[in-house]
Amino acid sequence: MDADLTEIEEAVRRLPARDRVHLIEVIARSLRDPEPEPGPALSPNKAALEHLLDEMANLPSQSPADGFSNRDHDRVLYGDHR
């Protein structure tokens, strides 16, 4: 089972940032739904989610000091969609 989680973690790390954010949103939405009864199949998923949340907590919460605003970064990443 640990090998499966390692493969999942590696696959998530290879995703582009936009896809990782989408995955996080999907997972967060699923957590709003009533939780199923705890069972053996839920534990590894919960551990993987906790690991993901720990990694997200280590991400910087401020923009880098590169002179770009958040809007500038979005424009570079996603194009100018005015």
What residues does each domain of the chain span?
2-78
pTM over 0.85: no
Q: Each residue of 32-80: pLDDT tens digit?
A: 766 555 556 557 788 888 888 888 888 776 767 778 887 887 888 888 7
DSSP 9-73: HHHHHHS-HHHHHHHHHHHHHHHHSPPPPP-TTHHHHHHHHHHHHHHHHTS-SS--SSS--HHHH
pLDDT digits (tens, 9 = 90+) for 12-29: 888 888 888 888 888 887
8, pLDDT greater than 80:
yes
Give the pLDDT score at 58.
80
